[in-house]
Amino acid sequence: MKLRLLILTVFTVGLSMQMSAQLNKYKYIIVPKHFDVFKIPNRHQTSTIIKHLFTKNGFNAVYDDDLPEDLADNRCMGLLVDLEDNSSLFATKTAIVLRDCQLNEVFRSIEGRSKIKEYKRAYREALNESFISFQGMNYVYTPQKEDTKKKTAQQPVTVSFKDDVKQLEEKPKEKVIVQEATPENQTYKSVEPKESSYVKVQSTEEPLKEGLLYAQPIENGYQLVDSTPKVVMKLMKTSVDDIFLVNHDGKSGMLTKQDGKWILEYADGGGKKAKELKIKF
């Protein structure tokens, strides 16, 4: 357990530092007292634990039923916490998702896990592991400067028929299509479909190549299979494109795209190893 936490910390702190600037523009973290995944408020003290952990990591966390005046007037100043519970019969699994005022996903933590049987302790351990994603962010709220290029309320513009005629006279080279629909004169534009010249090319399935891994979508990521086909490893999505958390031969690692190549980095025998993978998504 300690080794897994160490590996997760090493691979997520650097990623968290990259994402900190994205969160600095939000002043508040809004913690629901009743998460949708539970039937009762503050189940297993999840709301209390999450608010405490955000505060511990330097964020201004508030409950959703006790908003400051400026946040109540403008909900876009804060990010709403969404708790994802992917627990199974044998393990408690949690992830923290932050959403903006339009409910768009802004940040997603790693999945925290616990095999403790007692629910309250299990959720506390899993949430503490999920919050590794927020360590090292050095979050500091930075108010956004007023964007002078934002759209302002447009003044009504009055355009007369004479103005249109004048503009057409000034541009005689432009083709103007005139359509009439009066009792005396009816002009219709033909909308009869024309035969397409498009020729459909029959696609042929690409043969499996030796050493090439094929990415198959699964929940929250992909699984990589070889030509057998055999599942070689699973990739878990992060909040940054082209960066995945990996479970490789029982070892945790990270897959990143560097100079157009997919590089797998993982800890093995107390050292760090890296190798290139050929992947077709």
The pLDDT, as a whole number, for residue 184 is 53
Decide: pTM greater than 0.85.
no
96 token code pair: 């923290």
What single-letter amino acid sits at 183?
P
- For residue range 89-146, list pLDDT tens digits in order: 899 999 999 999 999 999 999 999 999 999 999 999 999 999 999 987 889 999 877 5
Element (H, E) at 125: helix 119-130
Residue % of the chain over a pLDDT of 70:
67
In DSSP terms, which residues pair with 99 in a beta bridge? 80, 105
Architecture of domain 2-134: 3-Layer(aba) Sandwich (3.40)
208: pLDDT strictly greater than 90 = no
More confident residue, 238 or 263: 263
Distance CA 32, CA 52 (A): 13
| Mean of per-residue pLDDT scores for the chain | 77
The pLDDT, as a whole number, for residue 11 is 44
Residue span(s) of the chain under CATH 3.40.50 come to: 2-134
Contact 103, 32 (CB under 8 A): no
The pLDDT, as a whole number, for residue 267 is 73
The pLDDT, as a whole number, for residue 203 is 38
196 token code pair: 């397409």
